[in-house]
């Protein structure tokens, strides 16, 4: 059974710092992996989608990498800003299913 | 372009009552999903649909029912509400399922007392 883990559960950093959020999964036979942002009281917004054949995806200050063999993905945020404060969730989609399996998220606080 | 719209935003139910959470999308997406999110946890799939007239169970379907009579609408029915169904419910949609980005609604906060 696929399990997705995100460590740490919470992270507080000063503004301007570069940071890395981690996501690990137990079954490497994934179809793709997505990173989402969730603001308090809001739904999820997709940030980056990495297909299983890809190694990384970039969007602005965000870079997501995928290493299927080790069951890991990282989300790199460059030059963090207070507006980046939110909960970040990763989710994997398995080959044989349309469902997403979510981690429990990392709650990020960027202090001014 | 409204995206995925959920109603109601907040609701309090008494144990044993029933209700329907409404979800509509205007992006002509064929796939639609219902997830629930418990405090401090990730999302778990309740039901999903790959097109009008087709629905299937997710990880946690017990106590819920869905229907998909049109491409746009995917209502979630709670029968005989229980305290364990207190959660935030998210509807989502995507085009051609796995390869494409999934879009979420803003959520429906449900409390069962």
Chain A residue with the nearest C-alpha to that of B40: A104
**Which pLDDT tens digit goes with each residue over A6-20?**
999 999 999 999 999
Q: Which residues of B touch A51 (CB under 8 A)?
A: 99
Closest residue in chain B to residue A98, using alpha carbons only: B98
CA distances from B59 to A11, A75, B43, B64, B111 (A): 29, 27, 10, 12, 21
Residue A48 vs residues A30, A33, B56: alpha-carbon distances, Å: 16, 8, 27
Say yes or no to pLDDT of B17 above 80.
yes
Of A76, A94, A81, A75, nearest in space to A25 by CA: A94
- Using one digit for the tens of pLDDT, what is the confidence trace for B25-55? 999 999 999 999 998 788 999 999 999 999 9
Share of chain A above pLDDT 90, in %: 81
d(CA B71, nearest CA chain A) in Å: 17
Neighbours of A48 (CB within 10 A): 21
Residue A64 has pLDDT above 60, yes or no: yes
Judge: B98–A98 Cβ closer than 8 Å, yes or no: yes
Query: Per-residue pLDDT for A87 more than 70?
Result: yes
> Which among B34, B47, B36, B21 is positioned nearest to B102, based on CA atoms?
B34
Question: Which of B44, B45, B104 faces A43 most closely, judged by CB atoms?
Answer: B104
What count of other Cβ atoms lies within 10 Å of the Cβ of residue B62? 9
Q: Which pLDDT score, from 0 to 100, does residue B9 have?
A: 95
B58 touching chain A per CB within 8 A: yes
Pairwise pLDDT comparison (B1 vs A52), residue with the higher score: A52
């Amino acid at each position: 059974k696929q399990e997705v883990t995100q460590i740490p559960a919470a992270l507080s950093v000063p503004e301007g710092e570069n940071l890395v959020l981690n996501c690990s999964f137990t079954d490497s036979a994934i179809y793709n992996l997505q990173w989402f942002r969730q603001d308090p009281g809001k739904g999820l917004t997709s940030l980056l989608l990495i297909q299983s054949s890809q190694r990384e995806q970039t969007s602005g200050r965000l870079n997501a990498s995928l290493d299927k063999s080790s069951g890991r993905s990282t989300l790199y945020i460059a030059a963090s800003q207070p507006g980046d404060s939110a909960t970040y969730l990763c989710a994997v989609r398995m080959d044989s299913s349309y469902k997403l399996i979510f981690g429990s998220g990392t709650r990020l606080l960027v202090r001014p | 372009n409204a995206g995925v719209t959920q109603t109601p935003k907040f609701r309090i139910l008494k144990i044993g009552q029933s209700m329907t959470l409404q979800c509509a999308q205007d992006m002509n997406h064929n796939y639609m999903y219902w997830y629930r999110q418990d405090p401090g946890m990730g999302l778990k799939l309740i039901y999903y649909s790959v097109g009008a007239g087709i629905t299937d169970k997710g990880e946690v379907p017990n106590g819920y029912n869905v229907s998909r009579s049109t491409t746009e609408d995917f209502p979630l029915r709670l029968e005989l509400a229980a305290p364990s169904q207190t959660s935030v419910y998210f509807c989502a949609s995507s085009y051609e399922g796995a390869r494409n980005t999934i879009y979420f609604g803003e959520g429906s906060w449900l409390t069962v007392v």
